[in-house]
Structure 1
């Protein structure tokens, strides 16, 4: 079984540009690069929603138990 967890060791951020409910751009980088990308996309796509969030790390629970 695989679970998504917020791993505080992962400093990466995920930036997404949304057209309604559809993601039209998806970018993952370290925080300063992600913030710059978010600012650029916000200027470029002023009428669209741009989100930034911590990267959720996928953990295989079976491997974590061993």
Structure 2
């Protein structure tokens, strides 16, 4: 079982490259690296959508309880 951790300001960003409705690449890193990755993927895949958003941490409750 997993749950979201309440984080008002996530410190990492998630970058995704989309082919239609399918994610073909995903990268999570600190903001500066994520922005560089987003720029590189936008240049490389100029016809695809590239998104960047806060990474929401997920905690596995089974691992926490053991």
Structure 1 alignment gaps of length 5 or more: none
Structure 1 residue 15: Cα displacement: 0.2
Regions of 4+ moved over 3 Å: none
Partner of 2:55: 55
Query: What TM-score do the two structures reach when normalised by structure 1?
Result: 0.78
Query: What TM-score do the two structures reach when normalised by structure 2?
Result: 0.78
Structure 2 alignment gaps of length 5 or more: none
1:36 aligns with 2:36: yes
Aligned residues: 61
Partner of 1:4: 4
